[in-house]
Structure 1
Amino acid sequence: MANLAPSCGVLVVVDVLSFSTAVDVAVGRGASVLPLRWRDARAAEAAARAGAVLASRQRGAGWSLSPESLSTLETRTLLALPSPNGATLCSLAAGSSATVLVGCPRNAAAVAGAAAAWRAGRPVGVIAAGERWPDDTPRPAVEDLLGAGSIVSALRAVEPLIDVSAEAEVAATAFESYAGALGTVLAESVSGRELRAAGFGADLELAGCHDVSHAVPVLRDGVLRGG
Protein backbone atom coordinates (compact mmCIF):
# COMPACT_ATOMS: atom_id res chain seq x y z
CA MET A 1 0.00 0.00 0.00
CA ALA A 2 2.71 2.49 1.01
CA ASN A 3 4.63 1.95 -2.25
CA LEU A 4 1.58 1.83 -4.51
CA ALA A 5 -0.63 4.62 -3.20
CA PRO A 6 1.49 7.68 -4.12
CA SER A 7 1.33 6.93 -7.85
CA CYS A 8 -2.38 6.08 -8.03
CA GLY A 9 -5.35 8.27 -8.84
CA VAL A 10 -7.77 5.68 -7.45
CA LEU A 11 -7.34 2.90 -4.90
CA VAL A 12 -9.88 0.07 -4.69
CA VAL A 13 -9.99 -1.92 -1.44
CA VAL A 14 -11.16 -5.51 -1.91
CA ASP A 15 -12.01 -7.65 1.14
CA VAL A 16 -14.71 -9.98 -0.16
CA LEU A 17 -15.37 -12.02 3.01
CA SER A 18 -16.70 -9.90 4.31
CA PHE A 19 -15.94 -6.16 4.60
CA SER A 20 -16.35 -5.19 0.93
CA THR A 21 -19.52 -7.23 0.53
CA ALA A 22 -20.98 -5.79 3.73
CA VAL A 23 -20.15 -2.24 2.63
CA ASP A 24 -21.74 -2.83 -0.77
CA VAL A 25 -24.95 -4.11 0.82
CA ALA A 26 -25.07 -1.19 3.28
CA VAL A 27 -24.35 1.54 0.73
CA GLY A 28 -26.74 -0.09 -1.70
CA ARG A 29 -29.48 0.43 0.88
CA GLY A 30 -28.68 4.13 1.17
CA ALA A 31 -26.66 3.84 4.38
CA SER A 32 -23.09 5.03 5.09
CA VAL A 33 -20.24 3.13 6.72
CA LEU A 34 -17.59 4.39 9.12
CA PRO A 35 -14.77 1.82 8.72
CA LEU A 36 -12.97 1.05 11.97
CA ARG A 37 -9.75 -0.92 12.23
CA TRP A 38 -10.34 -1.69 15.93
CA ARG A 39 -12.77 -4.06 17.63
CA ASP A 40 -12.16 -2.93 21.19
CA ALA A 41 -13.18 0.09 23.29
CA ARG A 42 -11.68 2.42 20.68
CA ALA A 43 -14.38 1.34 18.24
CA ALA A 44 -17.15 2.36 20.63
CA GLU A 45 -15.44 5.69 21.26
CA ALA A 46 -15.05 6.42 17.54
CA ALA A 47 -18.67 5.48 16.86
CA ALA A 48 -19.88 7.75 19.64
CA ARG A 49 -17.83 10.69 18.36
CA ALA A 50 -19.27 10.25 14.87
CA GLY A 51 -22.84 9.71 16.04
CA ALA A 52 -22.81 6.29 14.39
CA VAL A 53 -24.46 3.00 15.28
CA LEU A 54 -21.74 0.53 16.23
CA ALA A 55 -22.06 -2.83 14.50
CA SER A 56 -21.88 -5.90 16.72
CA ARG A 57 -18.55 -7.66 17.01
CA GLN A 58 -20.40 -10.97 16.73
CA ARG A 59 -22.01 -12.19 13.52
CA GLY A 60 -25.63 -13.06 14.10
CA ALA A 61 -26.12 -10.45 16.83
CA GLY A 62 -27.91 -7.59 15.08
CA TRP A 63 -26.10 -5.56 12.43
CA SER A 64 -22.57 -6.85 12.06
CA LEU A 65 -19.84 -7.64 9.54
CA SER A 66 -22.25 -10.26 8.18
CA PRO A 67 -23.57 -8.88 4.86
CA GLU A 68 -26.84 -10.76 5.34
CA SER A 69 -27.46 -8.91 8.62
CA LEU A 70 -27.28 -5.60 6.78
CA SER A 71 -30.11 -6.48 4.39
CA THR A 72 -32.44 -4.74 6.87
CA LEU A 73 -30.24 -1.69 7.41
CA GLU A 74 -32.24 1.51 7.32
CA THR A 75 -31.60 4.27 4.80
CA ARG A 76 -29.39 7.12 6.08
CA THR A 77 -27.97 4.98 8.89
CA LEU A 78 -24.33 5.69 9.70
CA LEU A 79 -22.92 2.31 10.65
CA ALA A 80 -19.56 2.04 12.41
CA LEU A 81 -18.16 -1.24 11.05
CA PRO A 82 -15.05 -2.78 12.65
CA SER A 83 -12.90 -4.87 10.30
CA PRO A 84 -9.25 -5.71 10.86
CA ASN A 85 -8.47 -6.09 7.14
CA GLY A 86 -10.70 -3.98 4.88
CA ALA A 87 -11.16 -1.11 7.32
CA THR A 88 -7.44 -1.00 8.09
CA LEU A 89 -6.68 -0.69 4.38
CA CYS A 90 -9.25 2.10 4.07
CA SER A 91 -7.54 3.95 6.91
CA LEU A 92 -4.12 3.56 5.29
CA ALA A 93 -5.42 4.57 1.86
CA ALA A 94 -7.12 7.64 3.30
CA GLY A 95 -3.68 9.14 3.93
CA SER A 96 -2.94 9.24 0.20
CA SER A 97 -4.14 11.67 -2.45
CA ALA A 98 -6.04 8.92 -4.25
CA THR A 99 -9.80 8.50 -4.39
CA VAL A 100 -10.58 5.43 -2.27
CA LEU A 101 -13.31 3.00 -3.35
CA VAL A 102 -14.48 -0.33 -1.95
CA GLY A 103 -15.16 -3.08 -4.44
CA CYS A 104 -16.16 -6.72 -4.73
CA PRO A 105 -17.69 -8.94 -7.42
CA ARG A 106 -21.17 -7.63 -6.60
CA ASN A 107 -20.33 -4.08 -7.73
CA ALA A 108 -17.30 -4.73 -9.97
CA ALA A 109 -18.61 -3.01 -13.09
CA ALA A 110 -19.92 0.01 -11.19
CA VAL A 111 -16.65 0.48 -9.27
CA ALA A 112 -14.54 -0.03 -12.40
CA GLY A 113 -16.57 2.58 -14.27
CA ALA A 114 -16.10 5.08 -11.46
CA ALA A 115 -12.38 4.29 -11.21
CA ALA A 116 -11.93 4.86 -14.94
CA ALA A 117 -13.75 8.19 -14.72
CA TRP A 118 -11.89 9.44 -11.65
CA ARG A 119 -8.33 8.22 -12.16
CA ALA A 120 -7.35 11.38 -14.09
CA GLY A 121 -4.80 9.55 -16.21
CA ARG A 122 -3.09 7.97 -13.21
CA PRO A 123 -2.97 4.24 -12.35
CA VAL A 124 -5.73 2.42 -10.49
CA GLY A 125 -4.46 0.38 -7.55
CA VAL A 126 -6.58 -2.66 -6.68
CA ILE A 127 -5.72 -3.90 -3.19
CA ALA A 128 -6.58 -7.49 -2.24
CA ALA A 129 -6.84 -7.50 1.55
CA GLY A 130 -5.94 -11.11 2.26
CA GLU A 131 -6.62 -12.93 5.54
CA ARG A 132 -4.85 -14.16 8.66
CA TRP A 133 -4.53 -17.46 10.42
CA PRO A 134 -5.56 -17.69 14.11
CA ASP A 135 -1.96 -16.90 15.13
CA ASP A 136 -2.22 -13.63 13.14
CA THR A 137 0.19 -14.68 10.39
CA PRO A 138 -0.89 -13.86 6.80
CA ARG A 139 -2.70 -16.49 4.76
CA PRO A 140 -3.68 -16.61 1.08
CA ALA A 141 -7.22 -15.48 0.36
CA VAL A 142 -8.51 -16.75 -2.97
CA GLU A 143 -11.69 -14.75 -2.46
CA ASP A 144 -9.73 -11.49 -2.58
CA LEU A 145 -7.65 -12.61 -5.56
CA LEU A 146 -10.90 -13.26 -7.45
CA GLY A 147 -12.50 -10.09 -6.12
CA ALA A 148 -9.56 -8.00 -7.28
CA GLY A 149 -9.68 -9.82 -10.60
CA SER A 150 -13.33 -8.92 -11.04
CA ILE A 151 -12.45 -5.24 -10.74
CA VAL A 152 -9.49 -5.50 -13.14
CA SER A 153 -11.54 -7.46 -15.65
CA ALA A 154 -14.32 -4.86 -15.55
CA LEU A 155 -11.80 -2.02 -15.81
CA ARG A 156 -10.30 -3.56 -18.95
CA ALA A 157 -13.80 -3.75 -20.43
CA VAL A 158 -14.20 -0.01 -19.83
CA GLU A 159 -10.67 0.88 -20.98
CA PRO A 160 -9.38 -1.86 -23.29
CA LEU A 161 -6.02 -0.12 -23.78
CA ILE A 162 -5.27 0.41 -20.09
CA ASP A 163 -1.86 -0.89 -18.97
CA VAL A 164 -2.22 -3.87 -16.63
CA SER A 165 0.52 -5.26 -14.38
CA ALA A 166 1.38 -8.95 -14.42
CA GLU A 167 -0.19 -9.37 -11.00
CA ALA A 168 -3.42 -7.70 -12.12
CA GLU A 169 -3.43 -9.81 -15.29
CA VAL A 170 -3.20 -13.02 -13.26
CA ALA A 171 -6.03 -11.89 -10.97
CA ALA A 172 -8.27 -10.96 -13.91
CA THR A 173 -7.54 -14.24 -15.69
CA ALA A 174 -8.34 -16.20 -12.53
CA PHE A 175 -11.63 -14.37 -12.11
CA GLU A 176 -12.62 -14.83 -15.74
CA SER A 177 -11.83 -18.54 -15.47
CA TYR A 178 -13.98 -19.05 -12.39
CA ALA A 179 -16.67 -16.40 -12.84
CA GLY A 180 -19.28 -19.02 -13.65
CA ALA A 181 -18.50 -20.93 -10.47
CA LEU A 182 -17.70 -17.98 -8.21
CA GLY A 183 -20.11 -18.98 -5.44
CA THR A 184 -18.72 -22.53 -5.34
CA VAL A 185 -15.11 -21.35 -5.18
CA LEU A 186 -15.89 -18.90 -2.38
CA ALA A 187 -17.75 -21.58 -0.44
CA GLU A 188 -14.82 -23.99 -0.72
CA SER A 189 -12.15 -21.42 0.23
CA VAL A 190 -10.70 -21.47 3.74
CA SER A 191 -12.72 -18.38 4.68
CA GLY A 192 -15.83 -19.82 3.04
CA ARG A 193 -15.57 -23.09 4.94
CA GLU A 194 -15.21 -21.14 8.17
CA LEU A 195 -18.35 -19.13 7.42
CA ARG A 196 -20.34 -22.22 6.43
CA ALA A 197 -19.29 -24.02 9.60
CA ALA A 198 -20.46 -21.04 11.63
CA GLY A 199 -23.85 -21.00 9.91
CA PHE A 200 -23.32 -17.99 7.61
CA GLY A 201 -23.94 -19.57 4.25
CA ALA A 202 -26.19 -16.63 3.32
CA ASP A 203 -23.16 -14.34 3.46
CA LEU A 204 -21.43 -16.53 0.88
CA GLU A 205 -24.45 -16.37 -1.41
CA LEU A 206 -24.37 -12.57 -1.29
CA ALA A 207 -20.60 -12.45 -1.83
CA GLY A 208 -20.82 -14.85 -4.77
CA CYS A 209 -23.09 -12.60 -6.84
CA HIS A 210 -21.52 -10.75 -9.78
CA ASP A 211 -22.55 -7.30 -11.00
CA VAL A 212 -25.86 -7.21 -9.15
CA SER A 213 -25.15 -3.86 -7.48
CA HIS A 214 -24.67 -0.33 -8.79
CA ALA A 215 -23.32 0.95 -5.45
CA VAL A 216 -19.96 2.75 -5.57
CA PRO A 217 -18.73 3.22 -1.97
CA VAL A 218 -16.39 6.24 -1.86
CA LEU A 219 -14.34 7.19 1.20
CA ARG A 220 -14.97 10.85 2.02
CA ASP A 221 -13.88 12.39 5.32
CA GLY A 222 -13.40 8.92 6.76
CA VAL A 223 -16.88 7.65 5.82
CA LEU A 224 -17.88 5.38 2.94
CA ARG A 225 -20.84 6.83 1.06
CA GLY A 226 -22.47 6.14 -2.28
CA GLY A 227 -20.66 7.89 -5.12
Structure 2
Amino acid sequence: MKNLILLLAISILIISCSEDEKSELTVHTKLLRLNYQETKTIEAVSDYPITCSCPDPYHATSQMLNVTANKVGVTVVDVESNDRKESVRIEIVPVYNLYDMPEVDWSKGLTEIINEQGQPQTKDLHTISYSLSEGVAYKKAYVFEEDNAQLAASVILIGKEHYRDVKAALLERYEYQGMLYFSDSDANEELYFDALQEEDATMFVVLNEWTNGDLIVYYVPRTRDLPPKINEINQKLENF
Protein backbone atom coordinates (compact mmCIF):
# COMPACT_ATOMS: atom_id res chain seq x y z
CA MET A 1 0.00 0.00 0.00
CA LYS A 2 2.82 2.32 0.90
CA ASN A 3 4.48 1.53 -2.43
CA LEU A 4 1.27 2.38 -4.32
CA ILE A 5 0.95 5.71 -2.55
CA LEU A 6 4.61 6.45 -3.32
CA LEU A 7 4.11 5.65 -7.01
CA LEU A 8 1.03 7.92 -7.19
CA ALA A 9 2.94 10.74 -5.54
CA ILE A 10 5.83 10.35 -8.00
CA SER A 11 3.40 10.33 -10.95
CA ILE A 12 1.71 13.54 -9.76
CA LEU A 13 5.11 15.18 -9.27
CA ILE A 14 6.21 14.21 -12.82
CA ILE A 15 2.99 15.57 -14.35
CA SER A 16 3.32 18.78 -12.34
CA CYS A 17 6.92 19.25 -13.40
CA SER A 18 5.97 18.58 -17.02
CA GLU A 19 3.34 21.32 -16.87
CA ASP A 20 5.84 23.73 -15.31
CA GLU A 21 8.38 23.07 -18.08
CA LYS A 22 6.15 24.20 -20.97
CA SER A 23 7.97 26.67 -23.18
CA GLU A 24 6.58 30.16 -23.58
CA LEU A 25 6.63 32.09 -26.84
CA THR A 26 10.00 32.70 -28.47
CA VAL A 27 10.09 34.62 -31.76
CA HIS A 28 13.36 34.16 -33.61
CA THR A 29 12.43 36.41 -36.53
CA LYS A 30 12.77 40.12 -35.77
CA LEU A 31 12.56 41.45 -39.34
CA LEU A 32 11.17 40.16 -42.64
CA ARG A 33 11.98 41.82 -45.97
CA LEU A 34 9.74 40.83 -48.86
CA ASN A 35 8.94 41.88 -52.42
CA TYR A 36 5.44 42.39 -53.79
CA GLN A 37 3.31 39.21 -53.42
CA GLU A 38 6.21 37.27 -51.87
CA THR A 39 5.53 35.00 -48.86
CA LYS A 40 7.95 34.25 -46.04
CA THR A 41 7.60 32.48 -42.69
CA ILE A 42 8.17 33.92 -39.23
CA GLU A 43 10.21 31.57 -37.05
CA ALA A 44 8.55 31.23 -33.65
CA VAL A 45 8.07 28.42 -31.11
CA SER A 46 5.79 27.90 -28.14
CA ASP A 47 4.20 24.97 -26.32
CA TYR A 48 0.97 26.95 -26.47
CA PRO A 49 -1.07 27.82 -29.58
CA ILE A 50 0.42 30.64 -31.67
CA THR A 51 -1.63 33.22 -33.55
CA CYS A 52 -0.52 35.97 -35.95
CA SER A 53 -2.25 39.12 -37.09
CA CYS A 54 -1.37 42.12 -39.24
CA PRO A 55 -3.22 45.36 -38.49
CA ASP A 56 -2.30 46.80 -41.91
CA PRO A 57 -3.58 44.58 -44.77
CA TYR A 58 -2.66 47.22 -47.35
CA HIS A 59 1.00 46.36 -46.84
CA ALA A 60 0.86 42.70 -45.73
CA THR A 61 -1.36 39.84 -44.61
CA SER A 62 -0.62 36.87 -42.36
CA GLN A 63 -1.89 33.32 -42.15
CA MET A 64 -0.50 31.24 -39.31
CA LEU A 65 3.19 32.20 -39.36
CA ASN A 66 3.24 32.93 -43.10
CA VAL A 67 3.40 36.59 -44.17
CA THR A 68 2.51 37.72 -47.69
CA ALA A 69 3.61 41.11 -48.96
CA ASN A 70 1.05 43.41 -50.52
CA LYS A 71 2.19 46.99 -51.18
CA VAL A 72 5.59 48.62 -50.69
CA GLY A 73 6.01 50.06 -47.20
CA VAL A 74 6.58 49.11 -43.58
CA THR A 75 4.21 47.40 -41.16
CA VAL A 76 4.26 44.84 -38.31
CA VAL A 77 2.87 41.37 -37.66
CA ASP A 78 1.86 40.61 -34.08
CA VAL A 79 2.73 37.10 -32.88
CA GLU A 80 0.82 35.98 -29.78
CA SER A 81 0.81 32.92 -27.53
CA ASN A 82 -0.47 32.39 -23.98
CA ASP A 83 -0.95 36.13 -23.35
CA ARG A 84 2.52 36.95 -24.65
CA LYS A 85 2.95 39.10 -27.75
CA GLU A 86 5.87 40.16 -29.92
CA SER A 87 5.81 42.33 -33.01
CA VAL A 88 7.86 41.51 -36.09
CA ARG A 89 8.84 44.37 -38.39
CA ILE A 90 7.77 43.76 -41.99
CA GLU A 91 9.42 45.69 -44.83
CA ILE A 92 8.00 45.37 -48.33
CA VAL A 93 10.72 46.57 -50.67
CA PRO A 94 10.23 47.42 -54.35
CA VAL A 95 11.70 45.51 -57.26
CA TYR A 96 11.17 48.51 -59.55
CA ASN A 97 12.78 51.83 -58.66
CA LEU A 98 12.22 53.70 -61.91
CA TYR A 99 12.24 57.33 -60.76
CA ASP A 100 12.33 59.42 -57.62
CA MET A 101 8.92 60.06 -56.15
CA PRO A 102 7.74 63.63 -56.81
CA GLU A 103 6.53 65.84 -54.00
CA VAL A 104 3.11 64.72 -52.75
CA ASP A 105 2.81 66.84 -49.63
CA TRP A 106 -0.36 68.66 -50.65
CA SER A 107 0.08 71.28 -47.94
CA LYS A 108 3.04 72.77 -49.81
CA GLY A 109 2.79 75.73 -52.15
CA LEU A 110 4.60 77.01 -55.22
CA THR A 111 7.25 79.04 -53.40
CA GLU A 112 8.09 76.28 -50.94
CA ILE A 113 8.61 73.68 -53.66
CA ILE A 114 10.86 75.99 -55.69
CA ASN A 115 12.90 76.74 -52.56
CA GLU A 116 13.34 73.00 -51.98
CA GLN A 117 13.86 71.78 -55.55
CA GLY A 118 15.47 74.77 -57.24
CA GLN A 119 14.50 76.95 -60.15
CA PRO A 120 12.34 75.08 -62.68
CA GLN A 121 13.07 74.80 -66.40
CA THR A 122 9.61 76.13 -67.22
CA LYS A 123 7.26 78.20 -65.12
CA ASP A 124 3.94 79.88 -65.60
CA LEU A 125 1.16 81.06 -63.33
CA HIS A 126 0.04 77.60 -62.18
CA THR A 127 2.70 75.11 -63.33
CA ILE A 128 6.43 74.47 -62.98
CA SER A 129 8.49 71.67 -64.55
CA TYR A 130 11.95 70.14 -64.22
CA SER A 131 14.01 68.03 -66.61
CA LEU A 132 15.24 64.73 -65.15
CA SER A 133 18.38 62.77 -65.99
CA GLU A 134 18.19 59.77 -63.64
CA GLY A 135 15.87 56.78 -64.03
CA VAL A 136 13.32 56.30 -66.79
CA ALA A 137 11.46 59.58 -66.23
CA TYR A 138 12.67 62.55 -68.23
CA LYS A 139 10.46 65.32 -66.83
CA LYS A 140 8.32 66.16 -63.80
CA ALA A 141 5.84 68.96 -63.24
CA TYR A 142 3.83 70.43 -60.40
CA VAL A 143 0.38 71.95 -60.89
CA PHE A 144 -1.01 74.43 -58.37
CA GLU A 145 -4.47 75.61 -57.38
CA GLU A 146 -5.49 78.92 -58.90
CA ASP A 147 -6.86 80.48 -55.72
CA ASN A 148 -4.06 79.75 -53.24
CA ALA A 149 -1.07 78.35 -55.22
CA GLN A 150 -1.34 75.13 -53.22
CA LEU A 151 -0.04 71.90 -54.77
CA ALA A 152 -2.87 70.28 -56.76
CA ALA A 153 -1.07 67.56 -58.75
CA SER A 154 2.38 66.10 -59.34
CA VAL A 155 3.18 64.68 -62.76
CA ILE A 156 5.90 62.43 -64.20
CA LEU A 157 6.62 61.94 -67.92
CA ILE A 158 8.17 58.65 -69.08
CA GLY A 159 9.05 57.08 -72.42
CA LYS A 160 6.34 54.77 -73.76
CA GLU A 161 8.80 51.87 -74.07
CA HIS A 162 8.78 51.58 -70.28
CA TYR A 163 5.05 50.83 -69.97
CA ARG A 164 5.38 47.32 -68.53
CA ASP A 165 7.92 48.38 -65.91
CA VAL A 166 5.88 51.45 -64.96
CA LYS A 167 2.75 49.31 -64.59
CA ALA A 168 4.67 46.82 -62.42
CA ALA A 169 6.10 49.62 -60.27
CA LEU A 170 2.65 51.10 -59.67
CA LEU A 171 1.19 47.68 -58.80
CA GLU A 172 3.89 47.23 -56.16
CA ARG A 173 2.85 50.45 -54.48
CA TYR A 174 -0.85 51.14 -55.15
CA GLU A 175 -4.18 49.33 -55.37
CA TYR A 176 -5.26 48.99 -59.00
CA GLN A 177 -8.87 50.02 -59.67
CA GLY A 178 -9.05 49.24 -63.38
CA MET A 179 -9.38 51.06 -66.67
CA LEU A 180 -11.76 53.97 -66.55
CA TYR A 181 -13.05 56.40 -69.14
CA PHE A 182 -13.13 59.89 -67.74
CA SER A 183 -15.64 62.20 -69.35
CA ASP A 184 -13.28 65.18 -69.33
CA SER A 185 -10.44 63.26 -71.01
CA ASP A 186 -9.83 61.83 -74.46
CA ALA A 187 -8.47 58.43 -73.39
CA ASN A 188 -8.78 55.56 -70.98
CA GLU A 189 -6.72 55.88 -67.85
CA GLU A 190 -5.54 53.35 -65.29
CA LEU A 191 -6.61 54.38 -61.80
CA TYR A 192 -4.89 53.42 -58.54
CA PHE A 193 -5.52 54.24 -54.86
CA ASP A 194 -3.01 54.41 -52.02
CA ALA A 195 -5.43 52.31 -49.92
CA LEU A 196 -7.56 49.21 -50.34
CA GLN A 197 -10.78 51.22 -50.37
CA GLU A 198 -11.56 54.61 -51.87
CA GLU A 199 -12.79 56.02 -48.56
CA ASP A 200 -9.41 55.30 -46.97
CA ALA A 201 -7.33 56.73 -49.81
CA THR A 202 -5.36 59.96 -49.47
CA MET A 203 -4.12 60.01 -53.06
CA PHE A 204 -5.16 58.89 -56.54
CA VAL A 205 -2.55 57.78 -59.07
CA VAL A 206 -3.42 57.78 -62.76
CA LEU A 207 -1.41 56.29 -65.62
CA ASN A 208 -2.23 57.66 -69.05
CA GLU A 209 -0.83 58.38 -72.51
CA TRP A 210 0.54 61.88 -73.01
CA THR A 211 -0.03 63.92 -76.17
CA ASN A 212 3.28 62.82 -77.73
CA GLY A 213 2.53 59.13 -77.17
CA ASP A 214 4.70 58.78 -74.06
CA LEU A 215 3.44 57.86 -70.59
CA ILE A 216 2.27 60.30 -67.96
CA VAL A 217 1.69 59.49 -64.29
CA TYR A 218 -0.51 61.85 -62.28
CA TYR A 219 -0.43 62.00 -58.49
CA VAL A 220 -3.56 63.76 -57.23
CA PRO A 221 -4.77 64.35 -53.64
CA ARG A 222 -7.85 62.45 -52.49
CA THR A 223 -9.63 65.73 -51.77
CA ARG A 224 -10.23 66.16 -55.47
CA ASP A 225 -13.17 64.56 -57.30
CA LEU A 226 -13.27 60.94 -58.41
CA PRO A 227 -12.50 60.48 -61.18
CA PRO A 228 -9.77 63.14 -61.04
CA LYS A 229 -10.27 66.02 -63.46
CA ILE A 230 -7.39 65.05 -65.71
CA ASN A 231 -8.37 67.43 -68.50
CA GLU A 232 -8.38 70.32 -66.02
CA ILE A 233 -4.84 69.40 -64.99
CA ASN A 234 -3.74 68.95 -68.62
CA GLN A 235 -4.88 72.46 -69.47
CA LYS A 236 -2.33 73.76 -66.98
CA LEU A 237 0.43 71.63 -68.52
CA GLU A 238 0.64 73.47 -71.84
CA ASN A 239 4.31 74.35 -71.28
CA PHE A 240 5.15 70.91 -69.95
TM-score (norm 1): 0.24
Report the structure, 1 or 2, having the larger strand content: 2
Higher relative contact order (CA 8 A, sep 6+): 1
Structure of greater Rg: 2
Higher helix share: 1
